[in-house]
Amino acid sequence: MAWAEREQAMLRGAVGKALPLAALLASIAAGLGQTNVSAPRYEFRTEHDPNGIGKFYFGREIAQVMGHQGADWLERPQREQEEQTDRMVDELQIRPGEIVADIGAGTGYLSRRLAQRTGVGGKVLAVDIQPEMLQLLANNMARFGISNVVPVLGAVTNPLLGPASVDVAVMVDVYHEFEFPYEMMLGICRALKPGGRVIFVEYRREDPAVPIKLLHKMTAAQVKREMSALPLIWVRTSEVLPRQHVMVFRKESR
């Protein structure tokens, strides 16, 4: 069943059962991604992992955001060896001329590599919610002489990208930190062109040997579960990297 049909069926079911008005409004808000009407999309717990924020989505606790104070970790010299980032970029299959959104771009470690793949005819929209990160990113782009990366200050509920403006949205070790994952992903879906791709790179939670805090890892099954609430179709999962999944989804046709 298509995403739009699932949403409509949910609303028809709510009406058919003669739910109270408050419950019906909550159902409608859930379908539209609104946040001004209370809906049971998230769960909050007082007892939780100290590395999380006590907010749960599809049973997963959302991890704390890495602040700009930890920016050096993104640029660590051993990152290529640990994560095989050149191979990772190959797995993203970015084509020349594409408009790519690097969501949670940080210092621009990935953005400047994506900029090489899009070429002068393409563009990388480097989105981050921390102005300090974007300043570091801008400094790095100037230092490397890269002109096709555009910094974008996003919000916690929206990447603030134009509708149908992006061919590919990439998130490398970022999605698990979204404070409002449903709302943020809905905004990303709106920014995608028809048939556009969403790519997640996440540390494998299935592998206890991956030396990353538990809440900063995700299983492939959990990513699929959370994307089932959105107009996205799973395309493929690559496990060629030593520590991370590469999961590709396509925007569902209406």
Instruction: Verify that 82 and 206 share a domain, yes or no.
Output: yes
pLDDT of residue 97: 98
Residues 20 and 114 in one domain: no
pLDDT at 236 over 60: yes
Residue-wise pLDDT tens digits, 139-172: 999 999 999 999 999 999 999 999 999 999 999 9
Give the residues across from 139 on adjacent strands.
none
DSSP character for 176? G
Q: Are residues 15 and 106 both part of a single domain?
A: no
Residue 4 confidence (pLDDT) above 80: no
Residue 54 counted as domain residue? no
- The mean pLDDT value of the chain amounts to 89
Query: What does the pLDDT read at residue 92?
Result: 98
Cα–Cα distance, 15 to 10 (Å, whole number): 9
Q: Within a domain: residue 230? A: yes
Strand 217-218 relative to strand 192-204, pairing: parallel
Residue 191 falls inside a structural domain? yes
Token pair in block for residue 72: 């050096």
Q: Which residue has the tokens 């999605």?
A: 175
Give strand pairing partners of 60: 57
Structural domain contains residue 200: yes
Cα gap 170→210, rounded to integer Å:
21
Query: CB–CB of 136/105 below 8 Å?
Result: no
DSSP-assigned letters across all residues of 114-153:
HHHHH-TT-EEEEEES-HHHHHHHHHHHHHHT--SEEEEE
CA dist 125 → 18, 199, 207, 216 (Å)? 45, 15, 32, 24
In a domain, 86, yes or no: yes
For residue range 121-130, list pLDDT tens digits in order.
999 999 999 9
Residues 31 and 152 in one domain: no
Beta-carbon-side half-sphere exposure of residue 110 (alpha carbons within 13 Å):
29
User: Where in the sequence is the domain holding 159, given as residue range(s)?
Assistant: 62-251
pLDDT grade for 18, boundaries at 50, 70 and 90: very low
The reply to whether 142 and 244 lie within a common domain is yes
Interhelix angle 85-92/109-118, rounded to 10 degrees, is 50
Q: What angle do CA 30, 19, 28 make, to 5 degrees?
A: 20
- The stretch 240-253 carries a mean pLDDT of 96
- Measured in Å, how far apart are the chain's first and last C-alpha atoms? 12
Look at residue 14 and tell me if it is in a domain.
Answer: yes
The secondary element (H helix, E strand) that includes residue 47 is none
pTM of the model: 0.84
What CATH number does the domain containing 202 carry?
Answer: 3.40.50.150
More confident residue, 116 or 4: 116
| Tokens representing residue 162 in the block | 């134009």
pLDDT digits (tens, 9 = 90+) for 54-112: 999 999 999 999 888 889 999 999 999 999 999 999 999 999 999 999 999 999 999 99
Give yes or no: residues 67 and 24 share one domain: no
**Residue 110 CB coordination number (10 Å):** 26
Number of domains, the chain? 2
DSSP reduced 3-state for 200: strand
